[in-house]
Amino acid sequence: MDTHFGSVAFTNAHVVRFVEKYRAMCEPGSVFWCDGSDDEKDHLTREAVAQGILTPLNPGKLPGCHLHRSNPSDVARVEQCTFICTPGREDAGPTNNWADPREMTAKLHELLAGSMRGRTMYVIPYLMGPPGAPLAKVGIEITDSIYVVLNMRIMARMGAIALKQLGDSDDFNRGIHSVLDCNPDRRFICHFPQTNTIISVGSGYGGNVLLGKKCLALRIGSWLGRQQGWLAEHMLILCVESPEGEKTYIAAAFPSACGKTNFAMMIPPAAFAGWKVTTIGDDIAWMWPDADGRLRAINPETGYFGVAPGTNLATNPNAMRTIARDTIYTNVALLPDGDVWWEGKDSPPPAQATDWMGRPWTPASREKAAHPNSRFTAPMSNNPALASEAEDPAGVPISAIIFGGRRATTMPLVFQAFNWTHGVYIGATMGSETTAAAAGTPGQVRRDPMAMLPFCGYHMGDYFNHWLQVRRKLTDPPRIFHVNWFRKDDAGVYLWPGFGENFRVLKWIVDRCRGRGKARETQVGWMPRHAEFDWRGLDFPREKWDALNKFDPAEWQRELLWQDELLLKLHDRLPKELIFQRELLISRL
Ligand code: OXD
Ligand code: MN
């Protein structure tokens, strides 16, 4: 039995053939062809509520919002189950899990055989990027999860708009997803760049199953970008607008759960009257050299899949407004009145709640009420700070690229690379403490080059080389910076207030790009002096500034050794430019 809503016709023969192939394999009870309409959303939401997949929240407080609780064994991305399946192992490189495409396909098809018996197979056409953008990409995701359909509807342009962009072409990403029995032993997230295919089984978690996001926009995207001369990056995109209306566009790469969403939606401190930050994207940037030699960027997504804990009216007021309606919450705590709660929300811990696993919770409970990687999925159109440019197919010209990690020591608040190649070295050697966004132990420093360690779809050495090659097409390359909001003093207290105060760093970066900001040359790059920062409205003591920016030779020596671990791993494809950069850094140190 097939279900169609509205009048959207799936006439593309390649799409029909692709769906028929997996219908025959998965043997679903029915096929539901998604058109992306509001009627369809209402129908599927009712269905999800009836099946207990979604719980409606208090319509007075959170109109149009629902709660979803995942399987407790399925709460984050699983890097150990994520594979790049290229004909040769070396093309995936040492930072990815590799599997032979033929063997892996056979194994996955065996798991998929009959997997949707008695279930509905949903066919989701979706478009990544504004329609008409030169890099916009169409995907067709087949899934047996209503939760995936309803999330994809928020995160990507879904339905008729994608089919229109596709026309009769067979140039679309083929995505197949089945939750199976959600058993971690049968969990595989596999990418086949040669055939532009993704197969994901055994999980229902966002990053593993919303195939447009990490799988297509980053892993397959980075592979396509290398073939076609563009960059698919784990970066937010924002616009800084001065009181005079001068607009500067900036992209920034921080690892998962290190504050990209907060940074992208930041509100400048009150003293900066007339200054505005607007959001183009909070997670992914697709960037290409344009005909004028500038790097242009689009956000391929239409929503935010953000981390709930720590989000509140002080840390991110724009996010709180964004998630006040039409939002799907996953693994947060439920309050008796149908509101939601998480650790670090504005309100104090509730007297009682239902925790993310559905158990009674009180402040005396030892475990957290919300999972540390609990999430909200919200449409970007809800964001009061959304930039009008977010829908512009021409994208925005990027003036600065920021790399940043979560580092308790070593790294100063901000420094600027001497040039593009030095900037690529800084991005390539980036380190950060691990977070709850991926399964594993949080808090250990690991190398996360350009925040792409879990997302680069090919050999990391080739990826660095691709960055160096892109420079050749740029006559006005973005300036490159490194930031660290997370440095601590000896007592373990953060030295920098962060959040809205990060605007001061952003303003210095804008001024540097515009040739107005002053700096001093140091061993690691250009750094601002205390007097070169705009301190209006904030009394930030000189001693604290010095601690925040202290250069500790012993820490840098250790840093170099840590960097070597990654560079050694990549040695056979490491561009020589980066080896020279390392030598230069050593001689400056
Ligand atoms: C994300 C992630 O969900 O990086 O964006 O894990
Ligand atoms: Mn991310």
Q: In angstroms, what CA-CA distances link 184 with 4, 203, 504?
A: 33, 8, 44
Q: DSSP assignment of 64-75, as one string?
A: T-EEE---TT--
User: Is any atom of ligand 1 closer than 6 Å to the C-beta of 448?
Assistant: no
Reduced DSSP (H G I as helix, E B as strand, rest coil) percent helix, strand, coil of the chain, to 5: 30, 25, 45
Q: Helix, strand, or coil here: 197?
A: strand
Assigned CATH topology for domain 233-302+387-588: Phosphoenolpyruvate Carboxykinase; domain 3 (3.90.228)
What is the dotted CATH code of the domain comprising 4-53+78-228? 3.40.449.10
User: Is any atom of ligand 1 closer than 6 Å to the C-beta of 260?
Assistant: no
Q: Which atom of ligand 1 is nearest to the CA of 213?
A: 5
CA of 283 to the centre of ligand 2 (A): 5
For residue 5, what are the contacts with CB-CB under 8 A and spacing of at least 6? Answer: 33, 34, 35, 37, 39, 40, 43
For residue 169, what are the contacts with CB-CB under 8 A and spacing of at least 6? Answer: 12, 14, 138
Structure token digits, residue 352? 């009682």
Catalytic residue among 65, 81, 85, 258: 258
Beta strand segments in 111-155, E: 120-128, 137-143
* Residue that is written with structure tokens 């969403």 in the block: 261
Which residue has the CA at smallest separation from atom 3 of ligand 1? 207
Structure token digits, residue 277? 């930050």
Residue 564 sits at the vertex; the CA angle it makes with 562 and 570, to the nearest 5 degrees, is: 125
Our mutation pick for probing the ligand 1 site, out of 256, 282, 307, counting the most ligand atoms within 8 A of Cβ, is: 256
* Residue that is written with structure tokens 């066919």 in the block: 123
Amino acid identity of residue 223, one-letter, is W
Characterize the bridge pairing of strands 2-4 and 30-33. Answer: parallel
pLDDT at residue 105, rounded to an integer: 98
pLDDT at residue 4, rounded to an integer: 81
* Residue that is written with structure tokens 């005079």 in the block: 244
**Residue list, CB under 5 A from ion ligand 2:** 256, 283
Nearest ligand, measured from the Cα of 236: 2
Q: Which atom of ligand 1 is nearest to the CA of 207?
A: 3
Per-block mean pLDDT, blocks of 10 residues, the chain (589 long): 80 97 98 96 98 98 98 94 97 98 98 98 98 97 98 97 96 98 96 98 96 98 98 98 98 94 97 98 98 98 97 97 98 98 95 98 97 97 98 98 96 98 98 83 87 98 98 98 96 96 98 97 97 96 97 94 93 96 95
CA of 362 to the centre of ligand 1 (A): 29
Q: In angstroms, what CA-CA distances link 581 with 534, 578, 584?
A: 31, 5, 5
Our mutation pick for probing the ligand 1 site, out of 283, 406, 455, counting the most ligand atoms within 8 A of Cβ, is: 283
Characterize the bridge pairing of strands 157-158 and 120-128. Answer: antiparallel
Domain ranges of the chain: 4-53+78-228, 233-302+387-588, 304-382
| Cα 289 from Cα 296, distance rounded (Å) | 6
Characterize the bridge pairing of strands 520-521 and 375-379. Answer: unpaired
Pair 544, 538: CB distance under 8 Å: no
Q: In angstroms, what CA-CA distances link 109 with 4, 28, 114, 232?
A: 26, 14, 10, 29
For residue 76, what are the contacts with CB-CB under 8 A and spacing of at least 6? Answer: 205, 207, 373, 436, 437, 438, 439
Assigned CATH topology for domain 304-382: Phosphoenolpyruvate Carboxykinase; domain 2 (2.170.8)
- The pTM (predicted TM-score) of the whole model is 0.97
CA of 577 to the centre of ligand 1 (A): 30
Q: Is position 34 annotated as part of the catalytic site?
A: no
For residue 451, what are the contacts with CB-CB under 8 A and spacing of at least 6? Answer: 234, 235, 253, 254, 255, 256, 258, 403, 430, 432
